[in-house]
Chains A and B, each alone.
Chain A
Amino acid sequence: DSGVTQTPKHLITATGQRVTLRCSPRSGDLSVYWYQQSLDQGLQFLIQYYNGEERAKGNILERFSAQQFPDLHSELNLSSLELGDSALYFCASSVDGVLYNEQFFGPGTRLTVL
C-alpha cells in the first residue's frame, strides 16, 4: 500500500499515560499533517511538518508534541492523557509546494483513554 499508513489502529490506555502515534506519508510527499477528530469538536488541525520542520500549528495542546524524521515519517506524542483526549487521530500527507495540491489521509488511530 503506497498510501498514508498509521499505526496502531486502536490504542486503549489510562489517564496520565503517554502514547506515541505513528504516520508514514505517501511516497514522495514531504508534508505531514495531524488532525484530531472528536464527537464535539469535529476534525481539527493540530500541526504540520514539512521536510522535517514544523510549518504550522493549530489547536495542539502543550501536552502534545510531534516530529518528522529524516525518512519523513512522523510521530505524534500525547502525554498526561485525559479522558477528553479520546478521539480519532488522522494523519495526512501532501506533496506541498504545489498549487492546489491534495491532502491524502490515513485510516486514523482510535485512542481511548479510560
Chain B
Amino acid sequence: AQRVTQPEKLLSVFKGAPVELKCNYSYSGSPELFWYVQYSRQRLQLLLRHISRESIKGFTADLNKGETSFHLKKPFAQEEDSAMYYCALKLQGGSEKLVFGKGTKLTVNP
C-alpha cells in the first residue's frame, strides 16, 4: 500500500543552521512527490515538487528512488521557515489525489 512517512513530528534548529526534514515513501508505481508547507494562520501551499528540480526559498529536495526518500533540505534556516511541512505522494492512474505524511513542525529559533 502507498504510504508516506515523516519520522519527525517536531524539529527545532537555530537560525543559520542546516535543516533536513525527512520523508520516506512506499509506492510500487512511479512516484511523484511534493512538499507542502503551512505557515501559521495560512493555508496549505505547495513548496516544491520533485519533477521541477527547483529551489524554492532556499529549499531543495532530491528524489532518491533507491532509498525511497524525498528529504527536504536548506543549508541555512531562517526564522520565517518555521511552519508545518508535509511530504505528499501523488498516485498514478487518472486521479490526482495526494497521500500525505503526518507532517513535521519546524521551529527555527533566533
Contacts and interface: CB of A to CB of B under 8 A. Distances in A.
Interface in A36-74: 42-45, 48, 55-56, 58
B49 interface: yes
Contacts of A100: 32, 49, 51-52
Given A43-B86, A103-B46, A106-B43, A96 B100 contact: no
B99 A55 contact: no
Interface stretch (B12-20, B23-31, B59-67, B90-98): B90-98
B44 interface: yes
Given A42-B103, A90-B44, A108-B43, A103 B98 contact: yes
Contacts of A2: none
B97 A56 contact: yes
B102 interface: yes
Nearest to B42: A107
Interface string B27-56: 000001000100000011110010110000
Contacts of B49: 100, 102
Contact of A48 (B51, B97, B99, B103): B97
B65 to A, nearest CB: 18
Interface residues of B, number: 20
A24 interface: no
A106 B44 CA distance: 8
Contacts of A109: none
B101 A42 contact: yes
A58 to B, nearest CB: 6
B33 to A, nearest CB: 11
Nearest to A41: B102
A33 interface: yes
B44 A105 contact: yes
17 contacts: A42-B103, A43-B86, A43-B100, A43-B102, A44-B100, A45-B97, A45-B98, A48-B95, A56-B97, A90-B44, A94-B96, A103-B46, A103-B96, A103-B98, A105-B44, A106-B43, A108-B43
Interface of B: 32, 36, 43-46, 49, 51-52, 86, 94-103
